[in-house]
């Protein structure tokens, strides 16, 4: 069994990963190491799709697994989800030994890759996600033993809490973004991968009538032309395409004024598997300009603090030379930072950037 220091280190890494997604690969690798496995992965599945992260060692293998469509033919996963236990289970627990070699996933993928033994567990989060953690071992090393399963079961409560905590922290970050827009006096809403509203700030609810929430929280606009533009923009985001339609004018209705609804893509961090938001909708009116904090630019577009400062300089109309002088860095450094800002915000040029983000400028 693990000594107190090893146990404490492994558990601490899990909770650190819940707050800092970049730590997940190292945390997974650590659990694989202490149980004699060669790698592993963590993924979160819901009706919005599946996000996953692996340790460095197993990443290429799982990438091939996904590319070849084995996730939809995963006999081990089907057995795991049907299993009534709350701990880690092995291949022996899910599939009779004499049937393993005839199962396509083992015969046609795991065995040729040099794997074939593993252990896994799953947690059902209150958000509706199924969180699965699995460790993989080379076939030549033999199956995962009961002793090793016992070690993992002692850590499992912490793994479950860390995964659920990560999911909750992600939603809290989203709610903090909405609150920032509320303080700025601007209605805002989060949109998930299905085009449904997952959260709003109080100001957004004042738009109901011009904004319509349909079955399954699908968002629509009362004006047909504006509604078509909105759904075109959301569809392009879902397809990872960067179309020109991002700011959509909505005409006045009865005694309600016209406004502009901006579709802001949310750039999920690569290792943040619990991020479900696809876009944020932010509303501005002709007589009010949105004041956006640097932290919000970072949240929406995954900019660094330095890049957010450069972005605000661009919005003020500063040229690269002026930015270099004001920031005390070389012109080449600023040009590199501008390229990063344009790439992350999906803009082709500085003029395109200013056109798209001017309504959000300080």
What is the set of domains in the chain, with CATH numbers? Answer: 4-168 (3.30.450.80), 184-288 (3.30.450.20), 292-362 (1.10.10.10)
Question: What gap in Å lies between CA 218 and CA 93, rounded to an integer?
Answer: 42
- The torsion angle over the Cα atoms of residues 226, 230, 233 and 234, rounded to 10 degrees, is -170
**Nearest alpha carbon to residue 152 among 90, 62, 61:** 90
Please, are residues 222 and 230 in contact by the beta-carbon 8 Å criterion?
Answer: no
Question: What gap in Å lies between CA 238 and CA 276, rounded to an integer?
Answer: 12
What integer pLDDT is reported at residue 257 of this predicted model?
84
As given in the structure block, the two tokens for residue 191 are 């949109």
Please, are residues 37 and 137 in contact by the beta-carbon 8 Å criterion?
Answer: yes
As given in the structure block, the two tokens for residue 246 are 């991002």
In the predicted model, is pLDDT for residue 100 greater than 60?
yes
Encode burial over 206-227: b for 16+ CB neighbours within 10 A, e otherwise: ebeebbeeeeeeebebbbeebb
355, with CB counted inside 10 A (0-12, 13-18, 19+), is: middle
Residue count of the chain, please give it: 362
- In this structure, the number of other CB atoms found within 10 A of the CB of residue 292 comes to 24
Binning pLDDT at 50, 70 and 90, where does residue 286 land? low
What integer pLDDT is reported at residue 333 of this predicted model?
92
Q: pLDDT digit string (tens) for 315-344?
A: 765 678 888 888 889 989 999 999 998 888
Binning pLDDT at 50, 70 and 90, where does residue 89 land? very high
**Mean of per-residue pLDDT scores for the chain:** 82
Residue 3: which residues within 8 A CB-CB, separation 6 or more? Answer: none
What integer pLDDT is reported at residue 264 of this predicted model?
75
Enter the pTM of the model: 0.61
As given in the structure block, the two tokens for residue 260 are 């502009």
- In this structure, the number of other CB atoms found within 10 A of the CB of residue 194 comes to 16
Please, are residues 102 and 76 in contact by the beta-carbon 8 Å criterion?
Answer: no
In the predicted model, is pLDDT for residue 232 greater than 60?
yes
Distances (CA, A) of 214 to 196, 199, 211, 217: 9, 14, 10, 5
- In this structure, the number of other CB atoms found within 10 A of the CB of residue 343 comes to 11
In the predicted model, is pLDDT for residue 4 greater than 50?
yes
What integer pLDDT is reported at residue 149 of this predicted model?
93
Helix ranges, the chain (H): 4-19, 24-34, 59-67, 75-82, 91-94, 97-100, 104-105, 146-183, 224-238, 294-301, 305-315, 320-327, 331-345, 350-357
In the predicted model, is pLDDT for residue 216 greater than 70?
yes
Question: What gap in Å lies between CA 67 and CA 354, rounded to an integer?
Answer: 38
Binning pLDDT at 50, 70 and 90, where does residue 155 land? very high
Binning pLDDT at 50, 70 and 90, where does residue 121 land? very high
As given in the structure block, the two tokens for residue 359 are 């309504």
* Span 298-324, average pLDDT: 81
Helices (H) and strands (E) in the chain, counts: 14, 12
Question: What gap in Å lies between CA 322 and CA 93, rounded to an integer?
Answer: 66
Higher local confidence (pLDDT), 231 or 300: 231
* Span 204-217, average pLDDT: 88
DSSP bridge pairs for 284: 260
What integer pLDDT is reported at residue 158 of this predicted model?
92
Percent above pLDDT 90 for the chain: 28
């Amino acid at each position: 069994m693990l000594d107190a220091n090893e146990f404490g280190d492994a558990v601490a890494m899990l909770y650190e990963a819940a707050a800092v997604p970049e730590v997940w690969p190292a945390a997974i690798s650590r659990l694989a190491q202490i149980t004699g496995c060669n790698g592993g992965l963590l993924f979160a599945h819901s009706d919005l799709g599946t996000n996953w992260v692996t340790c460095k060692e197993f990443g290429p293998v799982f990438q091939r697994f996904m590319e070849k469509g084995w996730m939809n033919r995963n006999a081990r996963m089907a057995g795991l989800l049907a299993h009534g236990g709350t701990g880690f289970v092995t291949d022996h627990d899910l599939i009779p030994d004499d049937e393993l070699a005839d199962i396509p996933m083992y015969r046609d993928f795991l065995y040729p890759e040099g794997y074939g033994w593993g252990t896994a567990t799953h947690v059902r989060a209150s958000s509706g996600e199924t969180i699965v953690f699995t460790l993989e071992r080379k076939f030549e090393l033999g199956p995962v033993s009961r002793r090793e399963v016992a070690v993992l079961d002692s850590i499992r409560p912490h793994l479950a809490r860390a995964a659920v905590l990560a999911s909750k922290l992600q939603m809290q970050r989203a709610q903090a973004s909405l609150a920032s827009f509320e303080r700025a006096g601007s209605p805002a809403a989060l949109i998930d991968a299905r085009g449904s509203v997952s959260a709003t700030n109080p100001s957004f609810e004042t738009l109901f009538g011009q904004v319509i929430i349909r079955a399954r929280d699908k968002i629509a606009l009362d004006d047909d032309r504006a509604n078509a533009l909105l759904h075109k923009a959301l569809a392009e985001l879902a397809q990872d395409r960067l179309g020109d339609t991002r700011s959509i004018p909505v005409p006045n209705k009865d005694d309600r004024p016209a406004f502009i609804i901006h579709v802001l893509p949310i750039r999920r961090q690569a290792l943040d598997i619990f991020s479900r938001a696809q876009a944020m909708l932010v509303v501005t009116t002709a007589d009010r300009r949105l004041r956006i904090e640097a932290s919000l630019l970072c949240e929406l577009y995954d900019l660094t603090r330095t890049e957010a400062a450069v972005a605000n300089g661009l919005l003020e109309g500063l040229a690269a030379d002026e930015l270099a002088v004001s920031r005390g860095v070389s012109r080449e450094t600023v040009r590199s930072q501008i390229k990063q800002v344009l790439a992350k915000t999906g803009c082709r040029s500085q003029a395109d950037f200013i056109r798209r983000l001017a309504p959000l400028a300080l």
